[in-house]
């Protein structure tokens, strides 16, 4: 008789980031209204939505660049100690956890007075205590990986926007992060430079890097993400695998959004 036993389900990977009931208000304006998500190790989570939906605020709260109003954040199994008002109860814990989270911003945020190589070695050497020779070797490997081996001695002002963003991605990798947070990494780029940055992020996804990407690049999100979240007015309106979210959305709001950006 043929063997009809089904293969066991693969064991889920460990959680890299867990967010539960995250809320954020600026005065009387409630920007996040109870957002929850989980990113397992190796996941690429794409966050989409219109302007003002709370995408970037959510990302900045995960990294405590913004102080949440309330909620629960767990990084690598360690819960962030928060007071009742959402502020961190232990600043040293925040600083330590941030060392395991890479962050790539819309506007690159490179140190303009330092060379590209110095941008990559500053935190590993002066914050993490990595020996300088080791940090330089790692930085050189990362720059070669993003196609900038010949730009190590250049200053940011002499690089194109796409090159600066690739350098920013390499800088985020230099701390060997548990996960990388991308805040609309192509929104400040000229259209002809977008592809070179997306290619680098696509390679990171292929090798199993854990990433949460706020993006307006719908085709990219569909191709690269393992999970997609659609935010509307500070809440998760719909989420799921990319083929379903883009191919058969259930929410009328998501249908309208995809039509407007399509």
Domain segments of the chain: what residues? 16-100+179-261, 110-177
Residue 25 main-chain phi, psi, to 5 deg: -120, 145
- Report residues of the chain scoring pLDDT below 70: 1-12
Architecture of domain 16-100+179-261: 3-Layer(aba) Sandwich (3.40)
CA atoms lying within 13 Å on the CB side of residue 220: 24
The whole-angstrom separation of Cα 208 and Cα 194 is: 22
pLDDT at 9: 57
pLDDT at 4: 54
DSSP tag of 80: P
CA atoms lying within 13 Å on the CB side of residue 245: 28
pLDDT at 5: 54
pLDDT at 85: 87
Q: How far is CA 173 from the centre of its chain?
A: 12
The token pair at 55 is: 């995408």
pLDDT at 100: 83
Percent of the chain with pLDDT over 70: 95
pLDDT at 99: 85
pLDDT at 7: 53
């Amino acid at each position: 008789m043929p063997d009809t036993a089904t293969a066991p389900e693969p064991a889920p990977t460990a959680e890299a980031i867990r967010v539960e009931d995250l809320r954020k208000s600026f005065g009387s304006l409630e920007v996040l209204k109870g957002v929850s998500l989980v990113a397992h190790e190796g996941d690429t989570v794409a966050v989409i939505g219109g302007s003002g939906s709370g995408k970037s605020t959510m990302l900045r709260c995960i990294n405590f660049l913004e102080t949440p109003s309330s909620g629960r954040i767990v990084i690598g199994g360690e819960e962030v100690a928060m007071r009742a008002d959402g502020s961190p109860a232990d600043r040293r814990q925040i600083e330590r956890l941030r060392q395991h989270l890479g962050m790539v911003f819309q506007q690159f945020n490179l140190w303009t007075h330092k060379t590209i190589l110095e941008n990559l070695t500053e935190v590993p050497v002066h914050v993490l205590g990595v020996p300088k020779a080791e940090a330089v070797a790692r930085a050189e490997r990362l720059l070669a990986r993003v196609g900038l081996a010949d730009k190590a001695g250049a200053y940011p002002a002499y690089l194109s926007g796409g090159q600066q963003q690739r350098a920013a991605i390499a800088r985020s990798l230099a701390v060997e992060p548990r996960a990388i947070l991308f805040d609309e990494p192509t929104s400040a780029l000229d259209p002809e430079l977008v592809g070179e940055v997306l290619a680098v992020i696509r390679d990171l996804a292929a090798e199993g890097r854990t990433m949460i990407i706020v993006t307006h690049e719908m085709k990219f999100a569909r191709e690269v993400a393992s999970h997609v979240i659609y935010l509307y007015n500070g809440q998760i309106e719909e989420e799921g695998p990319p083929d379903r979210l883009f191919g058969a959305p259930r929410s009328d709001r998501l249908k309208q959004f995809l039509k407007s950006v399509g």
